[in-house]
Amino acid sequence: VKLLEWAAGKGEKWDAAIVGEPTNPDTLGDMIKIGRRGSISGSVTVNGRQGHAAYPQLADNPVRGLVSLVDALLHPVFDKGTKDFQPTNLEVTSIDVGNPATNVIPAKATATFNIRFNDTWTAETIQAEIHNRLDQAAGRKKYRPGKKAPVDYELVWRNRPSHVFLTRDERLIDTLSSSVKATVGRKPALSTSGGTSDARFIKDYCPVVEFGLVGQTMHMVDERVALADLETLTGIYQRFIEDWFGQDRAVG
């Protein structure tokens, strides 16, 4: 990001970019990514009152409150997807009470979550939706019978959000698609599936798409790629460069 900011500050401009992410699910040439869902993460901590599990009336079990809040985060679904994007999805990635004792009600409980959101939402509107869901759930008594006060919770957003984007540059997409087809013999699908990538940093400076190797072992133990795919991918990039600048010469 700093390099892009520095170069842009010097007056540099870019026509287009290809990010070499492992975009292909099974075989080289399967897929070009033309956009990505946004991503945002947060944590919600419920404050309770520690006590003995045999005397719950003397305590306030934060796990019960957290269950109510997590249920509200997961239901109902956020949307059913759009023309270009998968449905928005929230995954609870961690639940922690820091309590090894089986007969002690803990003092607090925390859940972390990650949301992948489509173009139905912005980072601001999805945050507002989460706040609204938690506020409504805090007053429900389903998991907290006998408790008059609402759930005492704290919501913290982690890091800065990644915003949803879609590349509509037909020249970039068509040239890369043609280069892939000319090299491997089939036209790649255009997709916005999967997680975020470094393309999110480039989208504000020029049109960007993603195409790279097969991603079946990414981030796994013994991550690997086929050497033949490296050679084929090099050929695709070479064909793209020739076609892209060949178009420039033809126009000139």
pTM score of the predicted model: 0.85
Of 94, 98, 100, 125, give the one whose Cα is nearest residue 112. Answer: 94
**Phi, psi dihedral angles at 249 (to 5 degrees):** -65, -35
Structure tokens at 190: 């255009």
Question: Rounded to whole angstroms, how far apart are CA atoms 252 and 248?
Answer: 6
Pick the CATH number of 2-36+164-251 from 3.40.640.10, 3.40.50.1820, 3.40.50.2300, 3.40.630.10: 3.40.630.10
* CATH number of the 38-162 domain: 3.30.70.360
Reduced 3-state DSSP string for 39-102: EEEEEEEEECECEECCCHHHCECHHHHHHHHHHHHHCCCCCCCCCCCCCCEEEEEEEECCCCCC
For the chain, the structural domain boundaries read: 2-36+164-251, 38-162
Residue 251: the pLDDT is 46
* The domains spanning 2-36+164-251 and 38-162 adopt the same CATH topology: no
Per-residue pLDDT of the chain (252 residues; tens, 9 = 90+): 899 999 999 999 999 999 999 999 999 999 999 999 999 999 999 999 999 999 999 999 999 999 999 999 999 999 999 999 999 999 999 999 999 999 999 999 999 999 999 999 999 999 999 999 999 999 999 989 889 999 999 999 998 899 999 999 999 999 999 999 999 999 999 999 988 889 999 999 999 999 999 999 988 899 999 999 999 999 999 999 999 999 755 544
Question: Rounded to whole angstroms, how far apart are CA atoms 245 and 249?
Answer: 6
Residue 100: the pLDDT is 93
Reduced 3-state DSSP string for 118-135: CCCCCHHHHHHHHHHHHH
